Structure 1
């Protein structure tokens, strides 16, 4: 079996507050209208807002509530992400819940949106998981996709679908749409980039096929996007090439070049070290004449 139905949920939500009732309602409506859905994916930090003051240790009562919903409907559920507290550190963490209501993985966002996402640590473990008899899925969050190494690593671990909750409310959303298409094409995988709406994002969620083709792009309001994918399409395109042409994963595997940058202990270089600190731009004062 290679067919699988994933519903992305783009939800208008409160920036600082409890959005779980709205999420539960959306799932109730979604499953009543589209009972074929097997997995549901929400946007980043949608459950209880974008303030680190809501951070909780995991497992938590909030995560347990989502486990109950997943078991109720027998669906895979990725309820966006939530701030996770681990002693004195806070992570931006996405839980992967299976149809029996068990958490099978937690992914910590690797690249917090610094310098704006302050007080959040970056994770260092890649997460892939298998849906039995279907295929392998990978997880990343928001700014992670701006670093091609993240999606390439997930693809090299066998991921055929990337699940990517995001919370973008800034003027660079158009660039992210291009990055989502590029990540899908160069890794020959499906890419589900689900954004929030209203106070939690400017919408425009996008679902991309393994040729970089746009399967669906949402508007700016509430939207439920049930989409059937075919994992055999990923396998065929990885075998024969994007549109029968480029086979980037095989070429990367068979490369004759190593990348010395990645052998650096710091991951830096003399040029990168000249770029200055990672800080918000400062206002430039204009002298009066």
Structure 2
């Protein structure tokens, strides 16, 4: 039918494209508003994951008589969730837990809360801090670490990019 009237076919294509874009925006909007679902999931799985990670790392630290930093995991405190990491000693003891200070946009959207403090841990060989992921991409983190007495920084960072020295030095 649209081929019978000149220009209608073109007009139909434009309208269809607009309709598809509107549906795509609606889907994206629905996904963006679906952060409550992700927050609920993370809150639900946080405790068992935390318990499992801490138990396994504690046993490994004790078995091998070494310090182990967990890397990050979701911690639930009351009704808040945090991206955290924990440091264990050679006896399997929990030395401390650091919460992430610099969040990604995704972490903010799903309700992860920001820490306001960097923890420093005294070990027999010096004081250490354990910034989490993006925390280590800011020069201020290292300046603050030095100001609070840290001698070393433990950096367990996962990055999907190929390693380059220049990016690591940023």
TM-score, L = length of structure 1 = 0.40
Using the alignment, how far apart are the partners of 2:149 and 2:159 within structure 1? 28
Structure having the larger proportion of residues in helix: 2
Change (3 A) 1:175 1:89: farther
SS at match of 1:110: coil
SS at match of 1:72: helix
- How big is each residue's C-alpha offset from its partner over 1:166-189, in whole Å with a ceiling of 9 and x where there is no partner? 22225897664122xxxxxxxxxx
Structure having the larger proportion of residues in strand: 1
- How big is each residue's C-alpha offset from its partner over 1:58-102, in whole Å with a ceiling of 9 and x where there is no partner? 962331221111111110010211111123221111100000111
Of the candidates 37, 56, 81, which is equivalent to residue 90 of structure 1? 81
Using the alignment, how far apart are the partners of 1:58 and 1:154 within structure 2? 29
Q: Which residue of 2 aligns with 1:63?
A: 54
SS at match of 1:116: helix
Conserved? CA contact 1:136–1:161, under 8 Å: yes
Superposition map of 1:1-289 within 5 A = 52=42, 54-56=45-47, 60-113=51-104, 115-117=105-107, 118-119=109-110, 120-132=112-124, 134-170=125-161, 176-179=167-170
| Structure 1 residue runs without a partner (length 5+) | 1-50, 180-289
Larger radius of gyration: 2
Conserved? CA contact 2:50–2:74, under 8 Å: no
Task: Note the C-alpha offset of 1:137.
Answer: 1.1
| Structure 2 residue runs without a partner (length 5+) | 1-40
Task: Note the C-alpha offset of 1:139.
Answer: 1.0
Using the alignment, how far apart are the partners of 2:169 and 2:158 within structure 1? 16
TM-score, L = length of structure 2 = 0.65
Report 1 or 2 for greater relative contact order, CA contacts < 8 Å, sequence distance ≥ 6: 1
The alignment yields a C-alpha RMSD, in angstroms, of: 2.5
Using the alignment, how far apart are the partners of 1:83 and 1:148 within structure 2? 25
Change (3 A) 1:172 1:110: farther
Conserved? CA contact 1:67–1:97, under 8 Å: yes
